[in-house]
A = this chain, B = another copy of it.
Amino acid sequence: MEVLRRRVAVALTRPDTGSGALLRGITILAVLVSAGMAQAMSLEDIRDHLVNDEHWVVLICSCLFGLEFGLRLWAAPEIDENGQVDHEPGQRSTYLLSFIGVVDLLCWTPVILLPAIGTGDWLAVLQMIPLFKLGRYIPGLELVGTVLRNESRLLLATLSSLTVLVPVMSTLVYVCEHDAQPEVFRSIPHALWWGIVTMTTSGYGDMVPVTLPGRALAGLAMLVGIAMLAMPVGIIANGFANEVRRRELLANYRLVSSLPLFRDLDAHCIADIASLLRPQVMPARSAVLTRGEIASSMYFIIEGEVEVQVAAEPVLLGPGEFFGEGALIENRPRKATIRTRKTCRFLVLELTDFHALTERQPEILKRIRTVSDTRN
């Protein structure tokens, strides 16, 4: 039982395993069928043909989602708070109270509520909720969420400025306009709608000021709107720069520690190297270096395999090995073309950083040279 629960937990958290991929496939399919059905049912000419199928779709999708929810709840103790299977016991209540837990719970409610609400609008809303499940499968979304959370205080400050500025501007425009257009600027709440549409620069055009003072105020509102728009952009740009740098540094540190060349260096050296490296992914069968090219960087292979087209027989290099150091050390053009055989992950050390690093840490240059010499 324990072992089974662990296997289920692995399947639920790792879509790169076979059973995980299957689970993910079924989930995504059910999500799309559920959302697609809701949309189709809202189209008058299709609705009549589908009205019987709808019940079955709701039933099947709800059961699948219910099953998934059950499995996730059951396996929750195996999954730690970073969403990874771990020896640390996770807690069922943590899962149940998380955003995604609530989503999972709501996904299978249509089947219960169906008798009560019928196949109307609210069913459509419930059928859209499973879309949030897709968030689990979007790589990078977690980073976006972290940045938004880190900067939430500043973002809230700029958004709450709008709650002050929109009503004030709207009331002023209302006072200017409601005599000229009593049907359009009918009341301050109507003007508020105009205000939010204008200050986000959406500009539907359903309410447009026509008097001179109204237009002057509207022009001001647009400019203020742009400044308000500029602020979250600036805050988020800033937040991304910091968070991405932080993560890259950490990931590099771990990768550098695992490279044979650096394995027994002390932590200070590794931290120094990590701060200079930059990750790069290249597809299979593309040229990393071209013979005769001026050297600009050296490469450490993290994943994949490259072939050095130096002699009749190409030389293969795999994870943990490096290449491209010769041209940097001797300051000469590339001697050989090097091409990826599989998709490769590299850590790249730029020429200027290479020289800065080897000056600070001559030991590294010596090691690189040793390996480099045995190759020739």
Give A contacts to B, CB under 8 Å: 35, 38-39, 42-44, 80-82, 86-88, 121-122, 124-125, 128-129, 131-132, 134-135, 138-141, 143-144, 147-148, 153-164, 167-168, 171-172, 174-175, 178, 186-189, 192-193, 196-198, 200-206, 208, 212, 215, 219, 222-223, 225-227, 229-241, 244, 246, 249-250, 253-254, 257, 267-268, 270-272, 274-275, 278, 286-287, 290-294, 296, 328, 331, 337, 350-356, 358-359
Contact = CB atoms under 8 A, between A and B. Distances in A.
Contacts of A241: 234, 238, 241
Number of copies: 4
A374 to B, nearest CB: 23
A303 B303 CA distance: 42
A131 B164 contact: yes
Contacts of A271: 351-356
B200 A223 contact: yes
Contacts of A205: 203-206
A225 B38 CA distance: 24
Taking each of A81, A192, A198, A355, which has the highest tally of chain B beta carbons within 10 Å of its own beta carbon?
Answer: A355
Contact of A291 (B88, B227, B274, B356): B88
A292 B86 contact: yes
Contacts of A227: 148, 155, 232, 236
